[in-house]
Structure 1
Amino acid sequence: MRIKKLIVLFFVLFAISGTNAQAKKYIVHTVAFYNFENLFDTINEANNDEEWLPNGAQNWTSKKYKQKLHNLARVLSEIGSTDNPNNSPTLIGGAEIENRGVLEDLIKEPALIGKDYGIVHFDSPDKRGIDVALLYQKKHFRPTSFKNIPLLIYRNQLNNKAKEKNDKDDASDDKSEIDKNLDRVYTRDILLVTGFLDGEEINVMVNHWPSRSGGEKKSSPFREAAGRLDRKIMDSIYKVNPNAKIINMGDLNDGTYNKSVKEGVGAKRKKEEVKEFGVYNPFEQMAKEGNASLFYRDAGDIFDQIMLSETLLKKDFSSYRYWKAGVYNKPFMITTVGQYKGYPLRHGATEIGFSDHFPVYVYLIKEIK
């Protein structure tokens, strides 16, 4: 691929490895995750979408749906533009997606159609009918394999104390459905996509872990199981390729400090703590500094996270490596008045907003020789 077709970032090398160095050129790709919050169309399908129909509780009309698509496309086209102003994200993980059709509508929006995004999507068993997916720019990323990996969790995984009492303060509109015959809790599958980013193999995992419906403590074992499954998937990738590069992203419904992330996945806050086959979570430090991707129980937190394998942290920039991370929260995406001032601007009775989450992103860079 010719260099002129790539997105090139110019900056002084001391930003990475110290002063007294000459300026160098780098290719940069933005990788993002965004919870689209109830991206439903207006068509009645075989899922629990009755709320999101023209005669449903949300009075969800075609006009509102089109405005929602327009709003999301605007955000997606601008994520990472501070340091990568010439291109939207190369890879976008998404959550709360009704079906492939809404994604096809989304990537046809004027703000995105010129980027020629491809879609990887599977229907999940989640009873709300919401799934995860990956959008990718075809000119830069070529998928070679993809599969959905079910998260099998059951009500009997809850401890006895958790069964006895719900924490009503932790009620959520993201309800986990339980099969009364099997006691299985139906939730989203984990999406695993392997492909080549400008010729380099990258593995991408997209998650939307079980909600806190019924209480954080009661539902914590479900997310802990999700964290362990993520770790198992990563380990299986390493068995095939010990040098594999892995990006693990999603709405985890837990903070960077929770057991599901710290013990299940094994994520570390500091790069120097990450050993071989380990995982780095740049959003843990960001959370400690007061950044937030959403507001939960009136406090900011980062449930939306992108974690990176140790292989993406090496200081040799002859291949793609992690540079830095961010939360994309521009003023137009933020509620400006009322009880929820400062929160993400979401859909309401009188306004079609964006999402109840802010998107998160990381940059991958490679030196141009």
Structure 2
Amino acid sequence: MKIFALLLFILSSLLGDRVLKIATYNVENLFDLSNTKYRYKEYKPNTKSLWNKKNYRIKLKNIAKVIKDIDADIIALQEIGSIQALKDLKLEIKKQGLYYKYLDIADRKNTSIKVAILSKVPFRYSKDLQVRAGYKYRNILETKFTIDSHNFYIFTNHWKAKSGPESMRVVSAKKLRQRILEIGEDKNIVLVGDFNSDYEEYIKFKRKRKHNDTYGKTGINHVLKTLEIGNNNFYNLWYDTQEENRYSYIFRGKKEALDNIIVSPSLRNTKDVSYINGSIRNFDEKYLFKKKKIYRWQMTRGKIKKHKGKGYSDHLPVVAKFLFKS
């Protein structure tokens, strides 16, 4: 698969076609140093938790290194605290040698953490898709591109964590599904982000009674229609790699695929725009691990959690490539 993808990349370059690398990365609580109420207490700046200029700069530098090493054309981000944090991250990435000219963040709702996007290529528009008015649900970011005359949509998601039942993730899935139907299922659509759902969530969540309050129905599989692999269904790209590599998170020693890249049926053909088979992967560089665990941002335990100024994120990035024919 990897050899085929490399040959396709070389051939496409010779023909003048464009290959775009798209990634998604939950960066784990990237807050700036402003003193706003919409943040977790351990991220209140200049307190005993040691969220200060020094540790903020280390966090920015570490996350920027990961993004630079991925070198995606478009990267969707989760757990960005503010537009200022996003701009600071963009600047740090530039210092390390990679420039993203375009950015946006879903900040029309004052949730603690938000989704965002960085891009080397311009977008036609980028806007919030409000799931519900309350603060229990984070907005989805809808971004439309026109690349070599081809329209292309990316939806950046961060669904409710497993601290909540499946019915809360279904709410986000239904809103996303509604918007997909408005655009048209036949369009070039990529769904990315931290769905807090496995590619086979309908199997795995049945073991956990506190999650299964939907009579076996899931947002990612049933609402988004990724349950069956077929030409008319959205396709979860995790199925395009070896099963042992299908993970972006490790919880109590068990690998989980909470972060997903899902594509519309049109992106599975070989016409104008298509996913490059075999290109999906988790970004599992050695420095992102420590003692077989993902090397997340480090904090002390206890009543007052303190930042140690070490680590990256508790998630691994996920990357895939797409071909745009000229």
SS at match of 1:353: coil
2:119 is aligned, of 101, 113, 136, to: 136
Q: Give the AA of the match of 1:191.
A: L
Identify which of structures 1 and 2 has the higher relative contact order when contacts are C-alpha pairs closer than 8 Å and 6+ apart: 2
Structure 1 equivalent of residue 129 of structure 2: 149
Structure 2 equivalent of residue 342 of structure 1: 293
Counting aligned pairs with the same residue, the percent is 23
CA separation in 1, counterparts of 2:315 and 2:245? 15
Q: Give the AA of the match of 2:315.
A: H
Structure 2 equivalent of residue 161 of structure 1: none
Deviation at 1:60, TM superposition (A): 0.6
Deviation at 1:61, TM superposition (A): 1.2
CA separation in 2, counterparts of 1:212 and 1:62? 32
Deviation at 1:268, TM superposition (A): 5.0
SS at match of 1:30: strand
CA separation in 2, counterparts of 1:230 and 1:204? 11
1:122 is aligned, of 106, 111, 124, to: 106
Mapped pair 1:353 → 2:311: yes
Deviation at 1:243, TM superposition (A): 4.2
Structure 2 equivalent of residue 229 of structure 1: 175
Seen in structure 2, the aligned counterparts of structure 1 residues 77 and 151 have a Cα distance that, compared at 3 Å, is same
Structure 2 equivalent of residue 274 of structure 1: 231
Structure 2 equivalent of residue 40 of structure 1: 31
Asked if the contact 1:325/1:361 (under 8 Å) is kept, the reply is: yes
Seen in structure 2, the aligned counterparts of structure 1 residues 58 and 283 have a Cα distance that, compared at 3 Å, is farther
Asked if the contact 2:221/2:227 (under 8 Å) is kept, the reply is: yes
Seen in structure 2, the aligned counterparts of structure 1 residues 11 and 186 have a Cα distance that, compared at 3 Å, is closer
Asked if the contact 1:320/1:366 (under 8 Å) is kept, the reply is: yes
Structure 1 equivalent of residue 80 of structure 2: 97
Deviation at 1:31, TM superposition (A): 0.3
Seen in structure 2, the aligned counterparts of structure 1 residues 351 and 265 have a Cα distance that, compared at 3 Å, is same
**Deviations, residues 296-339 of structure 1 (Å, cap 9, x unaligned):** 243111100011111111123xx331012110010011113xxx
Q: What do you get for the CA RMSD once the two structures are aligned?
A: 2.8
Instruction: Work out the number of aligned pairs and report it.
Output: 296
**Deviations, residues 139-169 of structure 1 (Å, cap 9, x unaligned):** xx2222222111228xxxxxxxxxxxxxxxx
Mapped pair 1:312 → 2:267: yes
SS at match of 1:300: strand
Deviation at 1:22, TM superposition (A): 12
Deviation at 1:357, TM superposition (A): 0.1
Mapped pair 1:12 → 2:7: yes
Deviation at 1:23, TM superposition (A): 11
Seen in structure 2, the aligned counterparts of structure 1 residues 54 and 10 have a Cα distance that, compared at 3 Å, is closer
Q: List runs of 5+ in structure 1 lacking aligned partners.
A: 1-8, 16-20, 80-87, 154-183
CA separation in 1, counterparts of 2:299 and 2:107? 27
Seen in structure 2, the aligned counterparts of structure 1 residues 121 and 268 have a Cα distance that, compared at 3 Å, is same
Structure 1 equivalent of residue 220 of structure 2: 261
Seen in structure 2, the aligned counterparts of structure 1 residues 23 and 194 have a Cα distance that, compared at 3 Å, is closer
- Bigger Rg, which one: 1
Q: Give the AA of the match of 2:191.
A: N
Deviation at 1:125, TM superposition (A): 3.4
TM-score, length basis structure 1: 0.73
SS at match of 2:55: helix
CA separation in 2, counterparts of 1:10 and 1:305? 20
Asked if the contact 1:40/1:49 (under 8 Å) is kept, the reply is: no
Asked if the contact 1:119/1:134 (under 8 Å) is kept, the reply is: yes
Deviation at 1:56, TM superposition (A): 3.7
Asked if the contact 2:104/2:116 (under 8 Å) is kept, the reply is: yes
Deviation at 1:130, TM superposition (A): 0.6
Seen in structure 2, the aligned counterparts of structure 1 residues 124 and 254 have a Cα distance that, compared at 3 Å, is farther
CA separation in 2, counterparts of 1:361 and 1:223? 23
TM-score, length basis structure 2: 0.82
Mapped pair 1:29 → 2:9: no
Structure 1 equivalent of residue 147 of structure 2: 197
Asked if the contact 2:240/2:280 (under 8 Å) is kept, the reply is: no
